[in-house]
Amino acid sequence: MKRRCSRLRRSNRFLAGDDRALNAKQQAGLRTFIATGCTACHNGTLLGGMTFQKFGLVKDYWLETGSEKPDIGREAMTKKAEDRYVFRVAMLRNVAKTAPYFHDGSVAQLDKAVRVMAAVQLGRQLDDQAVASIVAFLESLTGDVPVHYAAPAGTQ
């Protein structure tokens, strides 16, 4: 447990400006994360969690995730057409420990989730090296999983 806590403290130190808190592979992953455009939505101390965005800006998300039934998102609550497929942007702290991914738990692996996000949000097809680089950065955000974390219903 202490080891995971220290990793989270490292990422906190890095976000506070300590360039040596992350190793070279994790720093390269952060550069790829930024260059790919991920920070347009995943930003701030939690790297997300503070805004709502359409899931599937470039192409329908369910075609990439394999979701059996598309979820209309906030539109179900607001009844506003502009809220169709709009969801809260997930925070990325502990993302390597909180599979499955997306609002419906349709993706089990972090590397696939990175590929899906690049495709449906940014219209980009990432090569294996870029995906591995981003995953290395995301893994640096790992600490203790909150006791109240629960995977999406029906995915356990």
- Look up the CATH number of the domain holding residue 55: 1.10.760.10
Within a domain: residue 152? no
Tokens coding 57: 């800006």
Beta-carbon count within 10 A of 62 CB? 19
pLDDT at residue 12, as a whole number = 74
pLDDT at residue 19, as a whole number = 83
- Per-residue pLDDT 10s for the chain (156 aa) are 444 455 556 777 777 888 888 999 999 999 999 999 999 999 988 899 999 999 999 999 999 999 988 999 999 999 999 999 999 999 998 899 889 999 999 999 999 999 999 999 999 999 999 999 999 999 998 877 667 777 666 655
Within a domain: residue 89? yes
| Alpha helices for 51-127 (secondary structure H) | 61-65, 75-78, 110-122
Within a domain: residue 154? no
Within a domain: residue 102? yes
Domain span including residue 42 = 2-139
Q: How many folded domains does the chain comprise?
A: 1
Nearest to 57 by CA among 30, 84, 95: 84
Cβ partners under 8 Å of residue 113, min gap 6:
101, 102, 107
Q: How far apart are CA 147 and CA 58, in angstroms?
A: 35
**Which amino acid, 32?**
T
Within a domain: residue 155? no
* pTM to 2 decimal places: 0.85
**Which amino acid, 5?**
C
